[in-house]
A = this chain, B = another copy of it.
């Protein structure tokens, strides 16, 4: 039985109860949001991951993209990245492996993770077709759907499927050439496939079958934006928006069948267009949860793309996005190291938390107020306990310890907080 249908029938499920407890909200309210598709619960019956809710009214979630490439495919390191991401507070991870034994890696990641795991199943059919010598353009429509089933059977909780990259939509990129063309891997595979075979995208054409498969596992469809802008110049262009109009239709069809959907978003977006991009998604896609990559607010900062993406991420989440995919400092340059994964997750937790304070998610601001009360009291033990990453904060402080343990070496004896406590004490006398 699908959780969306259970919710519509007024029944609660263990997943709904777990998410409501985790979010500190009423289970009946959550069920209503799930019933109308404004919240999705990421889970798959074939694993024991903690179910995680994404959508309106809930805490903004952070996903960490992991996975091997043809240039780096050490499974042990991947599993350490899973640990690092979850320890840093990631709410979900995606296994985007394209190098090495991808079946083995996926199963190991699902086994290792305690949080929902996502994947992009088209990689499966594409890589298998390439590896068996036929070439990617010769993967069959059946193989593409079988890839989805395989991933779900392995316990994947949410699958990114680029169903909106239709031939009609793809035509926009030819008729109005873009600065960066198509930068999504799955999107580019489908563009090549459609161009070569002169056939419609099977993920669109066989969407009903796809929904049946996903429904069997009560997993979540993440409608990928294969034509997301890869440069500021391409943001909000006809290709991107046309794809979103197709996704609008696909969200409606999924809801009719009780299959949960989330919608993926850009990409590279100038800061002044960030808010409107989520407003547009929420309108076109009937309030479906919005899952965004960044967005990056400049193209020029490889090595600092986590910064540009955190700026975009905070603003888009404040404006209504529900689920942020991190960007690490390694983006556009190489696969992230374990350290990059940690930095990416913590960076995006700052963005997500800032957004949650701004959008008034219950309890978000309490954390800051408790922390600032400790700072006012110069209570370093409590500050170190409460702060986002105690290990890093301690390392920084201890690298240049103050001569007076109540202070820090930045202001030393001229600490304003210390001075004011003296002023107030004297005034109180």
Contacts and interface: CB of A to CB of B under 8 A. Distances in A.
Interface stretch (A24-32, A48-56, A418-426): A418-426
Contacts of A414: 69-70, 98, 123, 126, 185
Nearest to A177: B424
Contacts of A72: 400, 409, 412
A233 B334 contact: no
Interface string A106-139: 0000000000000000010010000000000000
A181 to B, nearest CB: 5
Given A271-B318, A334-B409, A417 B354 contact: no
A176 to B, nearest CB: 14
A181 B373 CA distance: 10
Nearest to A96: B411
Interface stretch (A150-158, A216-224, A251-259, A384-392): A384-392
A375 interface: yes
Interface stretch (A8-16, A37-45, A204-212, A361-369): A361-369
Contacts of A354: 270-271, 297-298, 308, 311-312
Nearest to A397: B333
Interface stretch (A236-244, A283-291, A343-351): A343-351
A332 B372 CA distance: 12
Contacts of A183: 416-417
A232 B180 contact: no
A413 interface: yes
A1 interface: no
Contact of A188 (B373, B395, B419): B419
Interface residues of A, number: 107
Given A368-B299, A369-B179, A304 B195 contact: no
B232 A191 contact: no
B334 A396 contact: yes
Contacts of A268: 372
Contacts of A417: 180-181, 183, 230
B372 A411 contact: no
A301 to B, nearest CB: 4
B334 A372 contact: no
Nearest to A331: B410
Contact of A357 (B297, B307, B358): B297
Contacts of A297: 314, 350, 354, 357-358
Contacts of A231: 368-369, 372, 375-376
Nearest to A186: B416
A272 interface: yes
Nearest to A185: B416
Contacts of A246: none
B182 A298 contact: no
B389 A303 contact: yes
B192 A333 contact: no
B232 A298 contact: no
A335 interface: yes
Contacts of A311: 310-311, 314-315, 350-351, 354
A423 B136 CA distance: 12
B427 A195 contact: yes
A387 B71 contact: no
Interface of A: 69-72, 98-99, 123, 126, 174, 179-185, 187-189, 191-192, 195-196, 230-233, 268, 270-272, 297-304, 307-308, 310-312, 314-315, 318, 329-335, 337, 346-347, 350-351, 353-355, 357-359, 365, 367-369, 371-373, 375-376, 383, 386-389, 392-393, 395-397, 399-403, 408-417, 419-424, 426-427
Q: Which 5 A-B pairs have the closest CB atoms?
A: A70-B412, A231-B372, A272-B358, A188-B416, A303-B392
Given A98-B412, A182-B420, A270-B365, 14 more contacts: A70-B413, A71-B412, A98-B414, A123-B414, A270-B357, A271-B314, A300-B386, A303-B387, A304-B347, A304-B388, A311-B354, A334-B397, A337-B399, A337-B400
